Amino acid sequence: MKIKNISLSEALKQKLIHIKWHLWRGNLERALQRLTTLITLCSGVSAERLKKLKNYVENNADKIINYRERQKQGLPFTSNIAESTVESLINQRCKGQQHMRWSREGLDPILQIRAAIASNDWDKNWRTAISSI
């Protein structure tokens, strides 16, 4: 859920940003407390969306990563590398074709081949990549 997509006053949006700050640093309990308080200050669609966010955080508590700790340990803490790689692999085929739409079945084999080439695993994995077409 993107924070920018929730229509809140600036004061309430700042409270939501603080909740995100607590989540980023692994302080799950404090984030949930603040989220509960924020929900009581909202109504309508905003309150419903915040309740969904709270439910999501509670249901995935064991999977929420302490990004601050990972950063301190020198571990990857963002998905930028993976997202950049995927975007690069897709753009190699779709460059200049911004209106082109691919089905999952059509795009997946192309991405498998491009990933094998980009990772220098082509010689080792080309048969698997080709057989997926």
Is it the case that residue 2 has pLDDT exceeding 60?
Answer: no
Q: What does the pLDDT read at residue 83? A: 67
Rounded mean pLDDT, 98-123: 70
% of the chain exceeding 70 in pLDDT: 69
Q: What does the pLDDT read at residue 133? A: 59
Dmax over CA atoms of the chain, in Å, equals 59
Q: Are 59 and 30 in contact, with CB atoms under 8 Å apart? A: no
In what helix (H) or strand (E) does residue 14 lie, and over which residues does it extend?
A: helix 10-24
- Per-residue buried b or exposed e for 15-45, using 16+ beta carbons within 10 Å of the residue's own CB: bbeebeebbbeebbeebbebbeebbeebeee
Q: Where are the domains of the chain?
A: 3-72, 80-131
Q: What does the pLDDT read at residue 47? A: 87
Alpha carbon 43 to chain centroid, angstroms: 27
Dump pLDDT digits (tens) for 15-32. 888 898 898 888 899 999
Dump pLDDT digits (tens) for 8-18. 787 888 888 88
Dump pLDDT digits (tens) for 66-102. 888 888 888 876 666 666 766 766 665 555 555 556 6
Dump pLDDT digits (tens) for 38-67. 999 988 888 888 999 899 999 988 888 888
Is it the case that residue 1 has pLDDT exceeding 50?
Answer: no
* CA separation, residue 63 to residues 103, 116, 118 (Å): 30, 30, 30
What span, in angstroms and rounded, lies between the C-alpha atoms of 88 and 26? 31
